[in-house]
């Protein structure tokens, strides 16, 4: 009946309006739609305004152009309520000439499972796809800049949505009641998420906010299935009850940029137990605190926090015992607001205060709690030497009896991972109170052949200075030294030498290596440079070492003829080297390594040199370059 009335109205318009401003119908692929003339720059555009009852089911392809009275018109829009209540429509393909989808355009199309939105559409109107319960996924193209209120509200079959990078605002209740929605991708230009935007999305367990988001509106995620929330990036404003009644929520991280938190933001989140709070200087405005009726058991404040606002955690434990036994207040905090840490728990809570100077706090009165609540359930541990600052600090008069400076003695032990390779000792120790002047200096000393590598706390400094916060220990770790062993020969033409199969080896302290000297044909091995005569030997390595193998011509004699250019004669006898006829020259004796052993002046009588052992020696007479090699058998 509705479409018949529309058709009658269109016919009436055709009778009373000028020829170029009327509506008409056009059939494409068996579907008859009504079109209305739209004034635009080209003067030849139309929008889809309705459909013919008998033909609207199954798949619909909207044409990009239509013809009427021999004129062609471009389809640029889908008008308000154009396909409302088409419950048998299953899919829609929108042409890339369309730039807008109007208010209520496809509302209550419960059989619609697929819609293709082209990259030319810039706006999607209010309630455009409201209650399309069969729709399962939607990709909003980058061309879309405006997403209307309640555009996809109550699309209970919708499981995933991709919001384009051109959308700047997710308007009111856009996805409210989409209880199957489990995957949401928010575009990088979205600045604001408005009231009720994702309320009732019970399958939505997680969401990532891009850095562009600064505002989260009232009830934005009320009753959603979120299990954890990180409100970081550039989020600055979290409105009242934004995450109200999120029954599955267990942990919340509030980022540094947050400057405003509304009343009851996390009200009635019964499983929320963990909060990490990093807001620098946040302001709270409301009658009820953000975490009212949450049984929080873990609170961590970040090092950027300067202000803990009024009523931030007021009443979180609802008068019940809590497993939370302590909360640490970072050294950056300068102000703690009224009832900010009044947990209303029956358990004893210790507040570990790290600020040296006492922060300003609010004292309690007849109507309000102090910053820490009931002083009978509070212990406030303060840094060493800060008692006067806290005792006389602004607002601290109600909590003077709660102040505690560190007093416990500290037990500290320095250990070695293995006493046989090194030891660790305490060399200097100051103080014995936790967090005060209790410091110690530990020194690791490695045994011979080993070196220190690190302490069990990861430090590699030795000696190391430690600030002691309680009973503790530290262990020193050592490793064996590594050494290089190389081999060479006095003359490569006579033979070669190897160590562990190569010309060098790198081994740990105390390891053994095998040295082998191999004489070439026509030569004999004499000894190593340490006078060891075995051509194959094993050596225990305790330092970097270089070995030289010495070889001689096979069949050498005790005495070798005259030195060139002079008549000097060299011979050996009874452990001596004898030089005769040196013509008054200075005579110098060297061992095979070139080390000088003795020098004597020839006085025209035989010179006798005592030698320590058998081997090869070098004789130099005067400044003559020639040398005589003598082998003592």
- Residue pLDDT, tens place only, 179-210: 999 999 999 999 999 999 999 999 999 999 99
Query: Per this entry, what is the length of the chain?
Result: 633
CA 449 to chain centre: 39
Please give the share of the chain, as a percent, with pLDDT higher than 90: 45
**CA dist., res. 583 & res. 601, Å (int):** 10
Cβ atoms 86, 106 nearer than 8 A: yes
Task: Assess whether 61 and 114 both reside in one domain.
Answer: yes
- Residue pLDDT, tens place only, 252-272: 999 999 999 988 999 889 899
Question: Final residue of a domain: which of 103, 135, 167?
Answer: 135
Q: Which residue range(s) make up the domain with 470?
A: 412-480
Residue 160 lies in a domain: yes
Which of these ranges, 72-86, 101-115, 405-419, 552-566, has the smallest mean pLDDT?
552-566
Question: Final residue of a domain: which of 553, 583, 612?
Answer: 553
**CA dist., res. 331 & res. 528, Å (int):** 69
pLDDT given at position 238: 95
Q: When comparing pLDDT for 630 and 233, which is higher? A: 233
Task: Assess whether 42 and 31 both reside in one domain.
Answer: yes
Question: For residue 580, what are the contacts with CB-CB under 8 A and spacing of at least 6?
Answer: 568, 569, 570, 571, 606, 607
- Residue pLDDT, tens place only, 328-379: 999 999 999 888 888 766 667 889 999 989 999 876 654 456 678 777 778 8
The conformation of residue 6, written as its DSSP 8-state character, comes to: H
Residue 365 burial by CB count (10 A; 0-12/13-18/19+): exposed, middle or buried? exposed
The conformation of residue 8, written as its DSSP 8-state character, comes to: H
Cβ atoms 582, 602 nearer than 8 A: yes
**CA dist., res. 160 & res. 23, Å (int):** 37
pLDDT given at position 42: 66
Question: Would you say the C-alpha torsion 307, 311, 312, 316 has a positive or negative sign?
Answer: positive
Which of these ranges, 10-24, 250-264, 514-528, has the smallest mean pLDDT?
10-24
CB atoms within 10 A of CB 502: 10
E strands, 223-301, where? 228-231, 237-238, 251-254, 260-262, 274-277, 283-285, 298-301
pLDDT given at position 12: 43
Q: What is the number of domains present in the chain?
A: 5
Q: When comparing pLDDT for 476 and 623, which is higher? A: 476
**CA dist., res. 538 & res. 516, Å (int):** 9
Residue 387 lies in a domain: no
Task: Assess whether 213 and 269 both reside in one domain.
Answer: yes
CB atoms within 10 A of CB 339: 23
Q: Does pLDDT of 557 surpass 60?
A: no
pLDDT given at position 583: 79
pLDDT given at position 577: 83
Give me 465's structure tokens: 């200075």
Task: Assess whether 193 and 223 both reside in one domain.
Answer: yes
E strands, 333-393, where? 335-336, 349-353, 360-361, 378-381
pLDDT given at position 322: 65
Query: In what helix (H) or strand (E) does residue 51 lie, and over which residues does it extend?
Result: strand 45-51
Task: Assess whether 285 and 422 both reside in one domain.
Answer: no
pLDDT given at position 412: 76
**CA dist., res. 14 & res. 9, Å (int):** 9
Q: Which residues pair with 445 in a beta bridge?
A: 423
Cβ atoms 261, 237 nearer than 8 A: no
Question: For residue 366, what are the contacts with CB-CB under 8 A and spacing of at least 6?
Answer: none
Q: How far is CA 198 from CA 155, 205, 279, 334, in A?
A: 12, 12, 24, 37
Residue 381 lies in a domain: no
Of residues 221, 256, 260, 225, the one with CA closest to residue 241:
221
Task: Assess whether 38 and 178 both reside in one domain.
Answer: no
**CA dist., res. 294 & res. 305, Å (int):** 22
Task: Assess whether 255 and 214 both reside in one domain.
Answer: yes
Average pLDDT, the chain: 84
Q: Does pLDDT of 171 surpass 80?
A: yes
Cβ atoms 589, 563 nearer than 8 A: no
Which of helix, strand or coil describes residue 596? strand
pLDDT given at position 560: 38
Question: Final residue of a domain: which of 97, 116, 135?
Answer: 135
pLDDT given at position 539: 93
Question: For residue 12, what are the contacts with CB-CB under 8 A and spacing of at least 6?
Answer: none
Q: How far is CA 522 from CA 491, 535, 550, 551, 614, in A?
A: 13, 16, 14, 10, 21
Q: Does pLDDT of 228 surpass 60?
A: yes
Q: How confident is the model at residue 311 (pLDDT cuts 50, 70, 90)?
A: confident
**CA dist., res. 53 & res. 279, Å (int):** 58
Q: Does pLDDT of 18 surpass 60?
A: no
pLDDT given at position 512: 94
Task: Assess whether 103 and 169 both reside in one domain.
Answer: no
Q: Does pLDDT of 566 surpass 90?
A: no
Residue 338 lies in a domain: no
Question: For residue 135, what are the contacts with CB-CB under 8 A and spacing of at least 6?
Answer: 112, 113, 114, 115, 129, 152, 155, 157, 158
pLDDT given at position 431: 55
pLDDT given at position 631: 56
R_g (Cα) of the chain, nearest Å: 47
- Residue pLDDT, tens place only, 377-391: 788 888 877 888 999
**CA dist., res. 176 & res. 248, Å (int):** 18
Residue 356 lies in a domain: no
- Residue pLDDT, tens place only, 234-245: 999 999 999 999
Task: Assess whether 607 and 476 both reside in one domain.
Answer: no
CATH classification at residue 590: 2.60.40
Which of these ranges, 3-7, 293-297, 442-446, 570-574, has the smallest mean pLDDT?
3-7
- Residue pLDDT, tens place only, 406-453: 765 667 788 888 888 889 888 766 555 555 556 788 899 999 888 999
Residue 104 lies in a domain: yes
Give me 187's structure tokens: 């575009």
Residue 349 lies in a domain: no
**CA dist., res. 197 & res. 219, Å (int):** 8
Q: How confident is the model at residue 226 (pLDDT cuts 50, 70, 90)?
A: very high
> Which stretches within 105-261 are classed as H helix?
none
E strands, 406-557, where? 412-416, 422-430, 439-446, 450-455, 464-467, 472-480, 482-489, 495-499, 504-508, 512-519, 523-528, 536-540, 545-553
CATH classification at residue 4: 3.80.10.10
Q: Which residue has the tokens 């019940």?
A: 320
Task: Assess whether 74 and 131 both reside in one domain.
Answer: yes
pLDDT given at position 437: 56
Phi, psi of 247 (to 5 degrees): -65, -25
Task: Assess whether 596 and 623 both reside in one domain.
Answer: yes
| Mean pLDDT (whole number) for 464-480 | 84
Residue 392 lies in a domain: no
| Mean pLDDT (whole number) for 478-488 | 92
Of residues 231, 322, 237, 243, the one with CA closest to residue 278:
231
Which of helix, strand or coil describes residue 12? helix
Cβ atoms 475, 424 nearer than 8 A: yes
Task: Assess whether 17 and 87 both reside in one domain.
Answer: yes
- Residue pLDDT, tens place only, 27-73: 888 888 999 988 765 668 999 999 876 558 889 999 999 999 888 99
């Amino acid at each position: 009946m509705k479409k018949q009335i529309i058709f009658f109205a269109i016919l009436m318009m055709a009778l009373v309006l000028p020829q170029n401003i009327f509506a008409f119908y056009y059939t494409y692929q068996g579907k008859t739609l009504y079109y209305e003339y739209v004034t635009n720059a080209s003067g030849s555009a139309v929008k889809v305004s309705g459909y013919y009852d008998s033909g609207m089911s199954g798949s619909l392809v909207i044409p990009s152009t239509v013809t009427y009275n021999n004129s062609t018109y471009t389809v640029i829009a889908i008008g308000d309520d154009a396909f409302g209540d088409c419950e048998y429509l299953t899919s829609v393909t929108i042409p890339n000439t369309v730039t807008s989808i109007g208010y209520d355009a496809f509302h209550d199309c419960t059989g619609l499972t697929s819609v293709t939105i082209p990259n030319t559409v810039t706006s999607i109107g209010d309630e455009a796809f409201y209650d399309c319960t069969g729709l399962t996924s939607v990709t909003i193209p980058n061309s879309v800049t405006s997403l209307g209120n309640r555009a996809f509200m109550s699309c209970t079959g919708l499981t995933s949505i991709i919001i384009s990078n051109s959308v700047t605002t997710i308007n009111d209740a856009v996805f409210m009641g989409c209880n199957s929605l489990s995957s949401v991708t928010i575009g990088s230009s979205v600045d604001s998420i408005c009231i009720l935007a994702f309320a009732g999305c019970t399958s939505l367990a997680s969401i990532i906010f891009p850095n562009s988001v600064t505002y989260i509106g009232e009830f934005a995620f009320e009753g959603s299935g979120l299990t954890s929330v990180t409100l970081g990036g550039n989020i600055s404003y979290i409105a009242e009850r934004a995450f109200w009644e999120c029954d599955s929520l267990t942990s919340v991280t509030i980022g540094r940029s947050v400057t405003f938190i509304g009343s009851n933001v996390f009200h009635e989140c019964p499983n929320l137990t963990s909060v990490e709070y990093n807001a620098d200087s946040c302001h709270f405005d409301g009658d009820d605190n953000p975490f009212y009726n949450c049984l929080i058991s873990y609170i961590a404040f970040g090092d950027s926090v300067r202000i803990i606002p009024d009523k931030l955690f007021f009443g979180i434990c609802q008068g019940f015992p809590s497993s939370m036994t302590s909360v640490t207040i970072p050294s950056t905090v300068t102000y703690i607001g009224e009832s900010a840490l009044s947990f209303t728990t029956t358990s004893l809570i210790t507040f570990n205060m790290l600020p040296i100077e006492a922060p300003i706090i609010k004292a309690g009165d007849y109507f309000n709690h102090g910053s820490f609540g009931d002083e009978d359930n509070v212990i406030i541990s303060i840094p060493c030497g800060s008692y006067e600052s806290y005792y006389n600090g602004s607002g601290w008069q109600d909590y003077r009896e709660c102040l505690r400076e560190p007093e416990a003695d500290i037990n500290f032990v320095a250990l070695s991972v293995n006493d046989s390779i090194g030891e660790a000792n305490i060399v200097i120790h100051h103080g014995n109170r936790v967090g005060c002047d209790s410091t110690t200096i530990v020194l690791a000393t490695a045994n011979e052949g080993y070196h220190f590598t690190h302490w069990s706390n990861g430090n590699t400094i030795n000696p190391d200075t430690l600030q002691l916060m309680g009973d503790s220990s530290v262990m020193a770790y050592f490793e064996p030294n590594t050494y290089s062993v190389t081999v060479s020969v006095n003359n490569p033409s006579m033979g070669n030498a190897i160590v562990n199969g190569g010309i060098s080896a790198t081994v740990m302290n105390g390891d053994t290596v095998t040295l082998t000297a191999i004489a070439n044909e026509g030569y004999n091995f004499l000894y190593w440079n340490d006078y060891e005569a075995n051509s194959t030997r094993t050596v225990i390595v305790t330092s970097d070492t270089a070995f030289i193998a010495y070889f001689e011509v096979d069949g050498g004699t005790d005495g070798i003829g005259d030195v060139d250019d002079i008549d000097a004669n060299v011979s050996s006898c009874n452990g001596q080297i004898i030089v005769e006829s040196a013509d008054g020259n200075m005579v110098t004796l060297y061992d095979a390594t070139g080390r000088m052993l003795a020098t004597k002046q020839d006085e025209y009588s035989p010179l006798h040199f005592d030698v320590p052992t058998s081997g090869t020696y070098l004789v130099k007479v005067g400044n003559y370059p020639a040398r005589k090699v003598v082998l003592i058998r």
